A and B are shown apart, each in its own frame.
Chain A
Amino acid sequence: MEILVCVRRVPDTAENEIELNRAGNDIERDDLVYSINEWDNYAVEEALQIVAKAGGNVTVVTIGSDEDEEVLRREMAMGANQGVLITDDAFNGSDGKGLATILKAFVQKGKYDLILTGVQAEDGSAQVGGMLASLLDYPFASLVNSIEVLDGKKLKISREIAGGNREMNEIDLPCVLSIQTGINEPRYVGMRGIRQVASLEIPTYGASDLGIDEGLVGVGAAKVQRSDYFVPALGKGAEMLHGSREENIENLIGLLKAKGGLK
């Protein structure tokens, strides 16, 4: 099975306090720790597990700039056979449909049985996989948390639905699936593994290589554009305890007693 996994390099929300920059038009990007989008990493692991059983190859692709090569190499160190960087100034400012349009052009240059994305990236839109499937007229399933290859032509998958229940589906290949975290346990990647793939060539493609009409992508085609970032209103906000740890514990115990939190 030929599998394409679409990945993205994002600021790691577990490692960073995300703050507004001084101009107020973006987040403060200096000193941010970036990593592979968590959902995408599960998608790559799932692809590797499928080809380990069913045979085939895993290609990881990202749309971005030279800096994004590091996540491709990380996923190649996990075992992906090939990394591909799609990069062009014409792509800057693309909205979800723009990104899906770029990926569609790349998909049509190859021959993939299965295309995986993460459920969502740092902006929480959860949109590119579903859009890509619709542009390609492929079947799509979101929030996928198990995959079983039934034969060369279809998969049995489950989708995560409310209450921890799972919606079982059969889906024909080729198809697009968006992968939910927890579907597997992604393998560890050490520095040694990354060094081993450091010199592998990563091909790059631009708009003309992919035959993309520049009028359909980039900021000019984006119907959805972010105009600013701002710090969320604090609702009522928590009463913060600012004392020493000992004082905070004492205060908290008093509050817990009053609220029935200690039995």
Chain B
Amino acid sequence: MARIFAYIEHKGGVADDSAAELAAAARKIDPAASPTAIVTGWGADLDTVCNSLKASYTEVWKIANEALAYPNGELVRKALAKVVPHGSLVLVAHDHFGVDLAPGLAIKLDAAFVSDAVAIEGLDGAFLKVVRQEFGGQMSTHVRCDISSGAVINVRPGSFKPIDSAPVNGAVTDKSPEVGVLTSGRRYVGTVVADAGDVDISKETVLVSIGRGIQEKDNVAIAEELADAMGAAVSCSRPVVDAKWLEKSRQVGSSGQTVKPKVYMACGISGSFQHLAGLKGNPFIVAINKNPKAPIFQVADVGIVDDLLEFLPELTSKIRELK
């Protein structure tokens, strides 16, 4: 069995939630797997993270390098290509960092690449059977991946439930000397923090949230009127921000805000995993969509297939009548 590695993202000395999820994913490949954590970074934060991982990983590979103080995907890829043995399996979270790092890493390791795995169904000889989604989550597929020369597998955050197990008291191995000097044609120069908007949707308890189904800017008023009648705030999914119909601060999702309302009205939102990643706290989800195949109906509590441009105004006037 090939050696399995999990690349651990971290910030401020704390490992990302994906650290435990990747360990769980490794055991779906091989129930007896004892994956090795790989952590890159610099300074005291790196040591803190490595030490914290000893409870859940039997082996932790530490790569300390000043050039890796910020996780520039280009530099991390070069570092990993130097230390990961040929034929290994490397698990990476499918997020803004993993998307940057992993496809090119597979090329550099001459390994297969599977993106955005939502489930792993185990090995069949030299083939790993993985479940993915296509068409914005409307359809699933089984993918067969030939892992005979290794593989890089990006794992969807939240898809693998961490396994509770006793602390393992693992060891940290310093692999820094194998990495040497790292340079790249891409240099990190800073982070621009998102503007706070007029309304902080992360604090709202009821959200009327609109997606592509609202169709045009003028129709946003339909959602605003419903929100007004309900005493709610208006939020949205990515296409509404891309089209400049609402401010970025209104966007729910992994590249927008994380919200935790009691009630979430998803109106014309298909329900991509990036959108759902921003929805926490187990809200009561109402989905209104004209496409009965929309993935949002899989996660909603109540679903209505209808044209929201007609449905929402009628709902608004009915709520107003009751007041």
Contact = CB atoms under 8 A, between A and B. Distances in A.
Interface of A: 11, 13-14, 17-20, 27, 95-97, 100, 119, 122-131, 133-135, 138-143, 156, 158-172, 175, 181-182, 185, 223-235, 237-241, 245-246, 248-250, 252-253, 255-256, 259-263
A230 B141 contact: yes
Interface of B: 72-74, 77, 95-97, 99-100, 102-108, 112-116, 129, 132-146, 149, 151, 184-194, 205-206, 212, 230-232, 238-239, 241-244, 248-249, 251, 254-258, 262-263, 265, 270, 284-287, 291-293, 295, 297-306, 310-311, 314-315, 318-319, 322
A172 B322 CA distance: 62
A145 B254 CA distance: 15
Nearest to A226: B141
B113 to A, nearest CB: 6
Contacts of B251: 164
Contacts of A96: 103, 113, 115
B323 to A, nearest CB: 9
B238 A182 contact: yes
Contacts of B99: 119, 126, 130, 142-143
Given A229-B140, A239-B302, A139 B184 contact: yes
Contacts of A224: 112-114, 143-146
21 contacts: A13-B270, A14-B212, A124-B116, A124-B134, A128-B103, A139-B184, A162-B254, A163-B257, A167-B188, A168-B190, A169-B189, A185-B243, A185-B244, A224-B145, A227-B142, A227-B144, A230-B139, A235-B299, A238-B302, A260-B262, A262-B231
Given A138-B185, A261-B262, 14 more contacts: A17-B292, A18-B139, A27-B135, A27-B139, A96-B115, A126-B116, A127-B103, A140-B74, A161-B96, A172-B185, A233-B298, A249-B314, A252-B315, A260-B262
